[in-house]
């Protein structure tokens, strides 16, 4: 009997790959950049499993080209790169990697908040440009974090982990979350709040929403116009949650004070994107979950999902459990 073929779209931490290799015929994309869509399409024809990253588009056409596919395992908690409805229609379970990256991602959202509030990247540039001549009472003054009001949009695992950090900073925490129960919000020391009120009152607004058709451009010109001129927007969710053209205008006109973005639309952000010319916009390359330990755990989890799918077992973390209902 021929072995299950699995394509892994990038080099993962070795321990995870070694384990996967014991369960299938493994094909690992060894290049730094992702495989082109055309390559994925070609490989799809003979695959039983695909272990992919958020940079790989898995759409209806690709799924149609993969008649033997038993499992799709995404090494990410978000899965907006995958047409999950189509995978479900084809009975293919889709796995993701929730939980293991929660604290690391919340740490990073807070790091961005603090870096923007206290102007750390600007301060670093200031020194490198030879501008540090003396201690000065007003130079590079930022915003206090302690005691400020933080608005959290999306109160899932990562939003709640950000709230835990904010509590330690004595912040008032507001949250607007369509799915979140009031009990859970209050237990986390946060206050449920309407969207507009949250935007009006918050000194910091941190985004923790998945990207879906209903959250695309969730923050646009209207929402930005409600924010305080002293407010700072932090995005570690997905770039598409913000209307970037509207954000550029708001930052340029100083309608809000600053933004700190781990994610952009598209990724990578083109070097001629005007956001990169603004002093009040900090952009980093989608690294919120990038700690060595967390990336190892994510890889192991993605491998666990892949192995379970190859065996016809239920994936430990499955985003479309409805595929099992019909079995």
Residues in contact with ligand GLV by CB under 6 A are 54, 76-78, 101, 289
Query: Distances from the Cα of 153 to the Cαs of 35, 108, 164, 218, 327, in angstroms?
Result: 34, 16, 15, 10, 37
Q: Which of 10, 119, 208, 286 is catalytic?
A: 286
Q: Which of 165, 176, 238, 295 is catalytic?
A: 238
Shortest Cβ 239–ligand GLV spacing (Å): 10
Shortest Cβ 74–ligand GLV spacing (Å): 8
Distance separating alpha carbons of residues 144 and 129, to the nearest angstrom? 26
Residue 285 structure tokens? 């390359």
136 is catalytic: no
C-beta closer to ligand GLV: residue 153 or 171:
153
Let me know the angle formed at the C-alpha of 326 by 323 and 327, rounded to the nearest 5 degrees: 90
Return left, alpha or beta for 18; rule: phi > 0 is left, psi -120 to 50 is alpha, else beta: alpha
C-beta closer to ligand GLV: residue 78 or 91:
78
C-beta closer to ligand GLV: residue 29 or 108:
108
Q: Is there a cis peptide before residue 249, judged by omega within 30 degrees of 0? A: no
Q: Which of 267, 277, 311, 322 is catalytic?
A: 267
238 is catalytic: yes
C-beta closer to ligand GLV: residue 154 or 193:
154
208 is catalytic: no
Shortest Cβ 190–ligand GLV spacing (Å): 23
Count of Cβ atoms closer than 10 Å to residue 26 Cβ = 18
Shortest Cβ 287–ligand GLV spacing (Å): 9
Distance separating alpha carbons of residues 22 and 33, to the nearest angstrom? 26
Which are the catalytic amino acids? 238, 267, 286
């Amino acid at each position: 009997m021929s072995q299950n073929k699995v394509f892994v779209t990038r080099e993962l931490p070795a321990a995870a790959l070694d384990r996967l290799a014991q369960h299938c015929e493994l094909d690992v994309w060894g290049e730094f950049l992702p495989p082109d869509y055309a390559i994925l399409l070609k490989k799809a024809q003979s695959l039983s499993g695909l272990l992919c990253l958020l940079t790989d588009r898995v759409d209806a056409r690709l799924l149609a080209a993969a008649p033997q596919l038993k499992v799709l395992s995404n090494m990410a908690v978000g899965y907006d790169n995958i047409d999950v409805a189509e995978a479900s229609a084809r009975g293919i379970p889709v796995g993701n990697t929730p939980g293991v990256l929660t604290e690391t991602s919340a740490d990073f959202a807070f790091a961005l908040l603090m870096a923007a509030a206290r102007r750390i990247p600007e301060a670093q540039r200031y020194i490198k440009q030879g501008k540090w001549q003396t201690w000065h009472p007003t130079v590079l003054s930022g915003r206090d974090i302690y005691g400020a009001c933080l608005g959290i949009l999306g109160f899932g695992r990562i939003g709640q982990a950000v709230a835990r950090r904010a509590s330690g900073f004595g912040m008032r925490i507001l949250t607007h979350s369509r799915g979140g129960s009031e009990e859970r919000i209050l237990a986390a020391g946060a206050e449920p709040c309407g969207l507009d009120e949250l935007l009006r009152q918050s000194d910091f607004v941190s985004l923790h929403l998945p990207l879906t058709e209903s959250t695309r451009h969730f923050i646009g010109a209207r929402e930005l116009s409600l924010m305080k001129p002293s407010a700072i927007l932090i995005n570690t969710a997905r770039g598409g949650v913000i209307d970037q053209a509207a954000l550029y205008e708001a930052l340029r006109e100083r309608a809000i004070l600053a933004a700190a973005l781990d994610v952009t639309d598209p990724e990578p952000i083109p070097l001629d994107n005007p956001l990169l010319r603004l002093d009040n916009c900090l952009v980093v390359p989608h690294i919120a979950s990038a700690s060595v330990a967390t990336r190892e755990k994510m890889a192991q989890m993605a491998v666990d999902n892949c192995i379970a799918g190859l065996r016809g077992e239920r994936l430990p973390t499955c985003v479309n459990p409805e595929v099992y209902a019909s079995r």
